[in-house]
Structure 1
Amino acid sequence: MTEGRLFEDVDTYINSLFAVEDAVLTRAVERSTAAGLPEIQLSPGQAKLIYLLAKMIGAKRMLEVGTLGGYSTVWLGRALPDDGELISIELDPGHAKVARETLVDAGLDKTCRIIEGRGLDVMNTLTPHFDMVFLDANKDGYPAYLKQAIRLVRPGGLIVADNVVREGAVLEPSKVDPNAIGAAAFNQALASHPQLEAIVLQQVGIKGHDGLAVARVKDD
């Protein structure tokens, strides 16, 4: 068995124990595939991790930047209490349409709201205090998103960002790869910002080789 196949098999094993998809999540993936959306949503295990992070801090107000078909939105929405709120920002109207159908299917359309528009533009209109911000949009925009996330997240809250390793491309980001350049700049800003304490979790498995950044906004 090759090393890559072993990572995938272990990932599948973990998902089978800790992140089994129910019918709503299965339909969410099928709906996105049928609509021609790129298959870049989180794996079940990755989604379970952000769900648990939200639960651990008792998140009641969350922001997601990058909705895609709503798969991760459902996981985050399920972490909310009944009086919680999730705002998800999506640039592509077609993606937003699919995601709204998924939220209705999941019974989360009352607590989860999708705003169409550019991530940074919408973030600029929002007011603190969010308990958690999850970034999963264009990586070249991550450094700018981080500045807004720090403004929006309460002390003790979390900033979580997907795709920050990019198969190791962040080690030597090419001038022709804006996503790797953006992820590397984001990681550097995350590590050096005085208001944050953070780590990047390197991840390998069915979604390939990448990483998840987790940062806590320090208490005042």
Structure 2
Amino acid sequence: MTELTPENWRRVDAYFTDTLVGHDEALEHAVAEQEAAGLPAIEVAPVSGKLLNLLARIGGARRVLEIGTLGGYSTIWMARGIPDDGLVTTIEAEPVNASVARASIDRAGVGEKVEIRIGRGEDVLPTLTGPYDLVFIDADKESNALYLEWAARLGHPGTVVVVDNTVRSGDVADPAASTPQIEGVRRGLEMLGADPRFDATALQTLDRKGWDGVAIAVLTDVVEGYDDALEP
């Protein structure tokens, strides 16, 4: 059996990427532009981008909400997975990031299906009107529970919710790890496990981004009428 090492899991990731995703000029250009602008290299891996695309297509999503645009890489994947009259609303706190993303999204030919809202999620989310069919959460981890609350409010029974970066190189399950990011991830996962509005699972991933994971949930039929302490 092949030994589990970073070199070997990255080789498997490259094999999956080459075999199942392939090369895409627009997506690769988006990553290159992001790097050239000095944005952090924290976009999803190609296999994860393809997963988001497939989830949009499998669920027949027409309206997608993304929290955390960065350079637009995952935005392009999801925009390609919805119909021509669909819409991805993506929230980005940093205007520079939003500008880089806008150019890459337009260059990829999906600009008409994407609107970028600039501002912090906690400020922008209350201004949106649902329902959304797919919600992708990939922003500051400290706010995961807040973003999940808004995903429930802006979704409908059957809405798919995806939360990225849920393993954090194993720190999520390490009692000694207590950074604000880790605590935020834990609060989000605990909410997914306890809140009756969600039915969720999580998967560990090993790819070019390292050891991490993703949580996937579906909103249940108790979305409407659920009462909580969050003020709109």
In the superposition, the TM-score normalised over structure 2's length comes to 0.92
Which residue of structure 1 aligns with residue 227 of structure 2?
none
Return the alpha-carbon distance in structure 2 between the equivalents of residues 21 and 28 of structure 1.
Answer: 13
Structure 1 contact 173–184 (Cα < 8 Å) conserved: no
1:195-210 equivalences in 2 (<5 Å): 195-210=197-212
Return the alpha-carbon distance in structure 2 between the equivalents of residues 21 and 162 of structure 1.
Answer: 23
1:1-220 equivalences in 2 (<5 Å): 3-172=5-174, 177-219=179-221
Return the alpha-carbon distance in structure 2 between the equivalents of residues 137 and 173 of structure 1.
Answer: 23
For the residue of structure 2 that corresponds to 1:130, the secondary structure is coil
1:7 is displaced (CA, Å) by 0.9
Question: What number of residue pairs does the alignment pair up?
Answer: 220
Return the alpha-carbon distance in structure 2 between the equivalents of residues 140 and 70 of structure 1.
Answer: 21
Structure 1 contact 21–44 (Cα < 8 Å) conserved: no
Q: Quote the RMSD (CA, aligned, Å).
A: 1.3
1:21 is displaced (CA, Å) by 2.9
Return the alpha-carbon distance in structure 2 between the equivalents of residues 163 and 173 of structure 1.
Answer: 18
Percent identity of the aligned residues?
A: 41
1:172 is displaced (CA, Å) by 2.9
1:173 is displaced (CA, Å) by 5.5
For the residue of structure 2 that corresponds to 1:69, the secondary structure is coil
Higher strand share: 1
For the residue of structure 1 that corresponds to 2:126, the secondary structure is helix
For the residue of structure 2 that corresponds to 1:155, the secondary structure is coil
Return the alpha-carbon distance in structure 2 between the equivalents of residues 188 and 4 of structure 1.
Answer: 29
Return the alpha-carbon distance in structure 1 between the equivalents of residues 203 and 171 of structure 2.
Answer: 15
The one-character-per-residue Cα deviations of 1:134-176 (angstroms, maximum 9, x if unpaired) are 0000000101111111111111111101001111111136575
CA pair 190-2 structure 1, distance change in 2 beyond 3 A: closer
Q: More deviation in 173-182 or 74-83?
A: 173-182
Equivalent position amino acid for 1:168 in 2: G
Return the alpha-carbon distance in structure 1 between the equivalents of residues 184 and 216 of structure 2.
Answer: 16
1:26 is displaced (CA, Å) by 1.1
For the residue of structure 1 that corresponds to 2:100, the secondary structure is helix
1:72 is displaced (CA, Å) by 0.4
Structure 2 contact 171–177 (Cα < 8 Å) conserved: no
Query: Where do 5+ consecutive residues of structure 1 fail to align?
Result: none
Return the alpha-carbon distance in structure 2 between the equivalents of residues 213 and 190 of structure 1.
Answer: 9
CA pair 170-176 structure 1, distance change in 2 beyond 3 A: closer
1:196 is displaced (CA, Å) by 1.2
Return the alpha-carbon distance in structure 1 between the equivalents of residues 215 and 98 of structure 2.
Answer: 25
Structure 1 contact 62–86 (Cα < 8 Å) conserved: yes
